[in-house]
Chains A and B, each alone.
Chain A
Amino acid sequence: MAEKILLIGGSANGFGRETESDSASYQMVSALLKRGCEVFLIDDNPDSFTASRTDVHVEVLDLNAENLVKVIIANGITGIVPTVGGTTAIRLAFEVQQILGDQGPKVYGLSTPVLKATQNTKYLQERLQQWHLPAVQTRLASTPGEVFDAARELEFPVVVRSIAPQGQALRMQAEDAEELDQIAEDALARSLTHQVNVDKSIRGYKEIALIVMRDFRDTNVLIGGIEDMDPVGIHSADSIAITPIQTLADPVVQTLRHTAFKIARGFDIKGLLQVRFAVNPEDDSYVVTRLVPYYDRKVSLIEGATGYPMVPVMTGLMLGDRLEKVHIPSSYAEHTAMLEPTMDHVVMRFPVFTFGELELGGIETNRRLDTIQKSVGATIGVGRSLEEALEKALRAAHFSNRIFSPDLMGELTDSQVIAQLIHPQDNRILLLLEAIRRGYTVDELAELTHIDAFFFYKLQKIMQLEIDVQEHPWDIELMKKAKYYGLSDGLIAKLWSSVYDSVRRYRWDNNVLPTYKAFEPSAGEFQESVSQFYSTFETENESERLGQNTVLIIGTGAFRLGDGAAASYVMAMVSDEYKRQGYETVLMNNNPHDLTFIPQLSDKQYFEPLEISDIMNVVEVEQPTRIVVPGNRIKLINSLKAAGLKVDVIAREKYLESTLTDPKEEILINYFFDGAELHPIVLSHQTNRQVNIETAEQVVLRDLDVPEMPFAEPGLYQFVVPKMPAPGMKLQGEMRPMPFTHVAFLDKISHVDWLRILVRFILNTSTPDDEALLDRLPEFDWPYERAVLHYQDAEFKEHMNIQVPLDNGQFAMGVTYEVE
């Protein structure tokens, strides 16, 4: 009998979980279906791309153990997969196992002990000790008095973590008794069991993560390692991260690798395990800090950086395949699953913060980074040198090109600079550059920050290069060097007080052209058929034009505010439909976790920044028939059009400047615009907390006045009116593109892929069914009576320590929905 496998979704996106787990579950579904499994998914996240698959049974329910048990029993589920739904899924699998015990379905990808180890640090530490592996020293405490006793025993600074926390697990660091006093009670209160762990601080250690695969026969493979630039002390997601590991010598890396294998063996892992280490730079001693037995942002980074078929392999191994026999897509060389990936490029992950946007919204923030994650997204830069990777990651993060101008950070006093060196803020890299500019030596900076001197030499080199370029306008040798180390045409233009077009032409005239290199796991040793590329400026180009009829799709980049997951969903859906319509698709993006990077979704992928010059370079290679661009990239759209290119715009609402924080309600009339005519789809109500749709109300759409349409592009739009419209009444209000979050929600509750229809209208390939659907819209047969979209902002407040009410349309980190 076919296995019935339930994937546990991740619910609302939030800090620490972008779309990487959705991307993994999408791929895992493909692998499971191929093996003849029947696949179920429980998730209430409307942005879920996996849940839009028609070959999966989707249960839209609150993610709690009770609902899970119901779904398991009702459908006769034989196996559950908690490794592609983030921490929520892991916790739920643990709870389900507690409830159902041996009667429950098999848990795939995780052993019971490792599940326990993720939920119970003390247990993990006991096991590590048993295997003679070093763990963080920790004490359990259940009263403020015990917390203080533990801190005195371990010596300050200490880190306090709530056991079984309500909401996100937080790590709070206390430097001294006074700070401990402030957090002890709070940490205890956040614990469902009123207990906390007090850990000895390992601040200043290097943070290293290794990702390994293991099969049931005890074959262990190291897939990759990540080094954080910042030492332990700020949350790992808030640090610049680099792969491959740069500053550790071979014996250290081998010790960590061997330790990771021991742990995987000890916990009988079948599939994926990530082990986090802290390495003392003084003596290379180390401690194991955490186990992550599921697909998270680091795994996703390594998957992108190495080109290793991570999800197909982990799926095979969890179901009991041997690594030697595991099935991987035919585009990979036969032995790829077994080859330990080796890289001939550098990948840098650069965190993206939103303090600036919050402050623009009038919200007070504290920009200091600590052990609680503050970044909301990340970009990657890929290059053949650290300098190049950093430059590309920086510009992908949309830093202003002026960041290297000498006066930007000039206003800080020297003592402010020192304070920020010791207590990092979101502008970390700018500050480090400023400190170099002010003449701090590499050794001083390494001492103050505990960042390896290696990185400061690199920053120094970047800064010197920029100064040289600035001082020698139109010097071709310096331009070559600047391009070699990753400076964009835009930045060079700025340094030369010119415009990017002129720099670009000058570059062309002098034959300084990008070369694209393949991502593949053998560093050139083997011939692999590769579809993923990055640019550099060397001698050999490996990327040839894909075909005569391609569409280039520009992704939405890093998560920033609110609609990151929805934007990822929208572009993935659009991309997939172009492919279905017979185009070869080329995808360009810089967010390693983005859904658009799902390997089978597009024919070719470029991991590149999304500045105009980067895009034009790819356009020259691919010469696409059409270019699909999110509607908020107005400058880009105009440039592409000016260059005579066919641009398909996916209308996108920029962040609304509405002030929905008061209890008022907006009425939204949502339209499909086919380029000529507005078709009303649904009327919804939006407040600061939610969007409501009542099927019974939709009758009002039948005799609705047609509002003025200020947009020309086909798309999904919404008309905002202050109160419920009556038949025949003239509609007064404002037309805007439908926010992506609403688009994803609308797809889910109508069971219609509106974006696919949109693409068909853009391409003039709409079907009679499409036309019929639009014509009969007022009589649309809604599958539900009522649907509610909930904005989830609790995590935002928690992570950013914000006390005032937030405008959820803008600041919610994720959404859930329910239907009746």
Chain B
Amino acid sequence: MAKRYLILEDGSVYEGVAFGAPATTFGEIFFHTAMTGYQEIMTNPIYHNQIVVFTMPTIGAAGINHRADEAIGPMVKGVVVREVAEVSTNRLQSMSLHEFLLRHNVPGISQVDTRALTRHLRETGSQKASIVDYPDDHAFDQLRALVLTNQEVQQTSTPRAYVNPGRGANIVVIDFGLKNGILRMLNDYDANVTVLPYTATLEEVLNLDPDGIVLSSGPGNPHDIPDEMLTLIQTLQQKVPLLGIGLGHELFALANGVQVEPMRIEHHGMNHPIREQITNQIMYATQAQGYQIVKSTIKGTDVFVTHVDLTDGSIQGLRHRNYPAFSVQFFPDTAPGPVEATQPFDDFMDMVTVRRGG
């Protein structure tokens, strides 16, 4: 097995062993603390162009199966683990993690001291990283010269509208890097879903006569999305029930005059206690969060806080005072993650039902 290196923008070098594709890769690096759901995480478009470090030391034992895909193939640019299960015969699996990454030309690196790396990233915050054959000056020069794209949504959003048919409510999903879990949840309500690209216009949306709008999760910086989208959200929230998730939540906030900022320490895991403010209930949900609401900017707007992460007080949910429109920072689609987090979909579909009935 070939030796490979993970190098970081700050000059750090981590030695490991190659798996997956033998390619050289670049991307922003982050660590994920979930103990299950590696396939769902690797295929989530929110991680497009990123390099994932799993803190769980043994990855791959449940194999790869198409039902756990959140997109077609991996979205990440690299995978960093301590141990990768070489083969597995879980009955659902169609291939091993190694084969999966190889097939999609994504490199992995194993036998890395991922705990040391995590503790390092905890201090530095996320940064650029590369998986290379030799950690020489050339490799570092290339890494430092790398400009991270601000076109993440453009690259992951669907180029054209499509329908995921159902017999129930008419839901329009605006795709900022949609993951399958959101469609799966809407399927559970038998919704008739139309997915529109992130460039959708107000006319295009309203022509579909939606009963509800979902602003999907997605990768990158919410400020990179054209302002037209904020205007569109401002109009739509007055007309139909609206649910924002992840990036969609951040856009909902911006549309309502609330500021959003990058987090120094991002949240990627499923073990943070999240409190629902009204009921005081604590629940757990998958988080994949690099940006957060600036608390001080909520005052004087028409939204209020519905959910809070109890580890750092970060805002996890907002709701409009006047309209049936709300948003959550966490992932309510359980792919992967806790089942109790699906409440926002229930709430949203209730609003949709009320609107249809009325």
Contact = CB atoms under 8 A, between A and B. Distances in A.
Q: Do A and B come from one complex?
A: yes
Nearest to B85: A454
B272 interface: yes
Give the one of A340, A341, A523 with max B CB within 10 A.
Answer: A523
A324 B279 CA distance: 14
A343 B311 contact: no
A516 to B, nearest CB: 11
B56 A244 contact: yes
B89 A442 contact: yes
A153 interface: no
A150 to B, nearest CB: 31
B113 to A, nearest CB: 4
Interface in A226-241: none
Contact of A255 (B65, B116, B284, B339): B339
Contacts of A338: 273, 282, 310-311
Given A254-B336, A386-B83, A247 B61 contact: yes
Interface residues of A, number: 59
Given A249-B62, A254-B338, A342 B35 contact: yes
Contact of A524 (B55, B87, B88): B55
5 contacts: A250-B34, A442-B87, A454-B89, A484-B111, A539-B14
A538 B82 CA distance: 10
Contact of B37 (A218, A245, A250, A340): A250
Contacts of A527: 122
Contacts of B89: 442-443, 446, 452-454
Nearest to B274: A338
Contacts of A80: none
B57 A345 contact: yes
Given A248-B62, A249-B68, A335 B273 contact: yes
Interface in B25-70: 31, 33-37, 40, 55-58, 61-62, 65, 68
Contact of B310 (A257, A324, A343): A324
A218 B282 CA distance: 8
Contact of A281 (B61, B91, B111, B114): B91
Interface in A338-365: 338-346
Contacts of B337: 250, 254
B310 A524 contact: no
Given A253-B36, A254-B339, A343-B56, A524 B115 contact: yes
Contact of A539 (B55, B87, B113): B113
Given A217-B281, A219-B282, A342 B90 contact: no
Contact of A335 (B62, B85, B310, B335): B310
Range for the number of chain B residues in contact with chain A: 35 or more
B242 to A, nearest CB: 27
A446 B91 CA distance: 12
A255 B340 CA distance: 10
A220 B339 CA distance: 12
A323 interface: yes
Closest 8 pairs between A and B when the two form their complex, measured CB to CB: A540-B116, A250-B37, A524-B118, A340-B271, A250-B336, A523-B55, A338-B273, A250-B36
Interface string B261-274: 00000000111110
Given A246-B58, A251-B336, A484-B111, 6 more contacts: A344-B33, A344-B115, A454-B90, A525-B33, A526-B122, A538-B113
A282 B14 CA distance: 40
A750 interface: no
A446 B31 CA distance: 33
Contacts of B275: 324
Contacts of B114: 344
A384 B310 contact: no
B334 interface: yes
Main secondary structure on A side of the interface with B: loop
Interface of A: 217-222, 244-251, 253-255, 257-258, 261, 281-284, 323-324, 335, 338-346, 384-386, 442-443, 446, 452-454, 457, 461, 484, 515, 517, 522-527, 538-540
Contacts of B138: none
A526 B119 CA distance: 8
A523 B56 contact: yes
A222 B273 CA distance: 11
Nearest to A537: B113
B280 interface: yes
Interface of B: 14, 31, 33-37, 40, 55-58, 61-62, 65, 68, 82-83, 85-92, 111, 113-116, 118-119, 122, 269-273, 275, 280-282, 284, 310-311, 334-340
Contacts of B88: 247, 453-454, 457
A340 B287 CA distance: 13
A523 B118 contact: yes
Contact of A248 (B36, B56, B82, B86): B36
B41 to A, nearest CB: 9
Contacts of B55: 342, 344, 523-525
A284 B37 CA distance: 16
A384 B115 CA distance: 9
A525 B268 CA distance: 10
A247 B89 CA distance: 10
B310 A539 contact: no
B34 A339 contact: no
A282 B36 CA distance: 20
Contacts of B273: 221, 324, 335, 338-340
A401 B302 CA distance: 70
A452 B280 CA distance: 41
A281 B63 CA distance: 14
A346 B340 contact: no
A525 B270 CA distance: 12
A461 B269 CA distance: 30
Contact of A457 (B86, B270, B284): B86
B15 to A, nearest CB: 8
Given A343-B56, A454-B85, A539-B116, A335 B37 contact: no
Contacts of B338: 254, 257-258
Nearest to B123: A527
A340 B281 contact: no
Given A217-B280, A246-B58, A457-B85, A344 B118 contact: yes
A324 B37 contact: no
Contacts of A250: 34, 36-37, 40, 62, 68, 335-337
B312 to A, nearest CB: 9
A323 B56 CA distance: 26
Contacts of A247: 61-62, 88, 90
Contact of B272 (A261, A339, A343, A443): A339
B87 A538 contact: no
B113 A540 contact: yes
Nearest to A336: B311
Contacts of A443: 89
A335 B272 CA distance: 9
Contacts of B339: 254-255, 257-258
